[in-house]
Amino acid sequence: MTSINNPHSIGTEPVGKLLLQYSIPAIAGMTVVSLYHIIDSIFIGNGVGAMALSGLAITFPLMNLLMAFCTLISSGASTVSSIRLGQKDLEGATNVLGNALILCVVNSILVGIISYIFLDNILLFFAASEATLPYARDFMQIIIIGAPISHVMIGLNNIMRATGYPMKAMLTSMVSVASNIILAPIFIYYFRWGISGAATATILSQSIALIWVLKHFMQKDSFVHFTRKGWKIRLPILSNIFAIGMSPFLMNVCACAIIVVINNSLQTYGGDLAIGAYGIVSRLLTFFFMVLLGLTMGMQPIVGYNYGALKMQRVKQTLKLGIIAGVVITAVGTFFIEVFPRTISGFFTDNDEQIGIAVRGLRICTLMLPTVGWGVVISNFFQSIGKARISIFLSLCRQLFYFLPCLLILPMYFGQSGIWVAIPVSDFLAFITTTICLLVYIRKLDPVKC
């Protein structure tokens, strides 16, 4: 198994080679995770029905909210650990690991309890109807119960990648997804558990992956591993984790709010089938976002380490290569979605009306997709160097300042089409803002004390 056992090579190896070494496993892992969500939707749409697919789409805001609390810890902890390693502070990186695990467990339990108690009210607020509420409830009850498992697995896996084991981190994702792809059809079709079977398969597959991750950090030969001292809560570490993790947290919270508005608008202008169609569009757009996320995950330890080591030229070179890769990835995605929208949508459902809505949505939503590749890379770059405020600002810009107003105004004049058009319009505005921020701050790179 290939691993980068000496993270200090991040400061000496060629940047292009390092980016491939770290990004390809991360992209592969995130692609596999995204394909799992797509395949899960295909199983539900074909094995349970169009209303179940719409019910699944109703759960997206709550899933985003749960993920927001997960990334608050996992993203912040992985960045802080990379910077500590860049500063040659191995003990500090080890302490981050222990503190992050405790935070993941406590955080997921508290959020899970609140979500479970008010689940029906939350789902109704998210635009569930009498037809879709039972499906959404059955799915989320199991996901919430298993939240501590998924949060700890994701958190530790991010730290594994950030501390020099990108291949192992990729294999974690592959183990989880492969298990789910095997279990989901068995539970849905053979045991006839319906949408509950899909949720059960998800949690069981993540449990298998968690065992794999825990085994890694229990081994003394792992560069960063569990120690007794690492379990002691340290407020400076918690502060750094929360500060740096706030950007992806807010981005997920905003995504939750946006999806709620989208679902309610689609319920008004199209009904349950339109919400299900958006579920198809969302899964496909998420696929490309996850690929970009994998790219930025690969960039993060390289940028964070070299920033901590004051090697600014390597930091800038990593950013340049990342931007090029991000734009190319999303441009290729735009081509395939624009050319084959009906074929792609047909994999999810055989309902002609739902397919027609999805095709229209896909063609409009992907018009400015390449600018998303540019924006995601730059926003995560600022997060990787500890510039949390800039990263948070860029995250809020697209979601709250641009997308939400467009989403509230355009449907009033263009109906359902206005909902779809809001996406490329906000993408373009966010592209302009991100470019301005990059030009202003790229010459002001200063080391951060973290």
| 96 sits in which H/E element | helix 90-117
CA distance 52 to 136: 8
**pLDDT computed for residue 162 by the predictor:** 84
Give CA–CA dist 408/426, Å, rounded: 12
Please indicate, yes or no, if residue 3 is contained in any of the structural domains. no
> Residue 352 is encoded by which pair of tokens?
């002609």
Amino acid at 230: G
Tokens of 414: 């263009």
- Going by pLDDT thresholds of 50, 70 and 90, the confidence category of residue 371 is very high
Residue 5 lies in a domain: no
Pair of tokens at residue 77: 């902890």
Give the C-alpha separation, 418 to 97, whole Å: 45
Residue 416's pLDDT is 93
What is the token pair recorded at 365? Answer: 């939503």
Does the pLDDT of residue 388 top 80, yes or no?
A: no
* Domains: count for the chain: 1
pLDDT computed for residue 6 by the predictor? 55
Does the pLDDT of residue 449 top 70, yes or no?
Answer: no
Q: What is the mean pLDDT of residues 318-326?
A: 95
Considering the chain, what is the average pLDDT of its residues? 90
pLDDT of 334: 94
Give the tens place of pLDDT for each residue, 91-126: 888 899 999 999 999 999 999 999 999 999 999 999
Using the Cα atoms of residue 400, residue 401, residue 405 and residue 410 in order, give the sign of their dihedral.
negative
pLDDT in the model for residue 8 = 61
**What does the pLDDT read at residue 197?**
96
User: For residue range 175-234, what is the model confidence (pLDDT) as tens digits?
Assistant: 998 899 899 999 999 999 999 999 999 999 999 999 999 999 998 887 788 888 888 999
pLDDT digits (tens, 9 = 90+) for 288-317: 988 998 899 889 889 988 888 888 889 999
Type of residue found at 43: F
Of the chain, the percentage scoring pLDDT greater than 70 comes to 97
- Write out the H or E segment, with its range, that includes residue 86: helix 60-86
pLDDT score of 57 more than 90: yes
Q: Say how far apart CA 153 and CA 297 lie, in whole Å.
A: 16
Q: Count other Cβ atoms within 10 Å, centred on residue 39.
A: 18
Q: What one-character DSSP code corresponds to residue 397?
A: I
**Which amino acid, residue 187?**
F
pLDDT of 16 strictly over 70: yes
Per the model's pLDDT, the better-predicted residue between 32 and 359 turns out to be 359
| Residue corresponding to tokens 């607020």 | 125
Distance between first and last Cα of the chain:
32
- Is the per-residue pLDDT at 240 higher than 70? yes
Q: Is residue 379 part of a domain?
A: yes
Would residue 420 count as lying in a domain? yes
- Distance, CA of 107 to CA of 241 (rounded, Å): 13
Indicate the burial class of 444 (C-beta count within 10 angstroms; 0-12, 13-18, 19 or more).
exposed
* 359 part of a folded domain: yes
Residue 2: which pLDDT band, with cuts at 50, 70 and 90? very low
The residue range of the domain holding 259 is 12-444
CA distance 1 to 171: 10
**pLDDT per residue over 326-351, tens digit each?**
999 999 999 999 999 999 999 999 99
Specify if 7 maps to a domain. Answer: no
Asked if 378 contacts 434 with a C-beta cutoff of 8 angstroms, the reply is: yes
Q: Which residues of 304-337 are buried (b: 16+ CB within 10 A; e: fewer)?
A: bbbbbbebeebbbbbbebbbebbbebbeebbeeb
Query: Residue 209 has what pLDDT?
Result: 95
Residues 434-443: tens digit of each pLDDT: 999 998 888 7
Q: Is 1 part of any domain?
A: no
pLDDT at 3: 45
> Which secondary structure element, helix H or strand E, spans residue 85, and what is its range?
helix 60-86
**Model confidence at 1, in pLDDT bands (50, 70, 90)?**
very low
Cβ-contact 60, 258 below 8 angstroms = no
Cα–Cα distance for residue pair 83/105, rounded to 1 Å: 24
Task: Calculate Rg over the CA atoms of the chain.
Answer: 21
Q: pTM for the complete prediction?
A: 0.80
Q: Is residue 4 part of a domain?
A: no
Q: What's the rounded Cα separation, in Å, for the pair 230 and 228?
A: 5
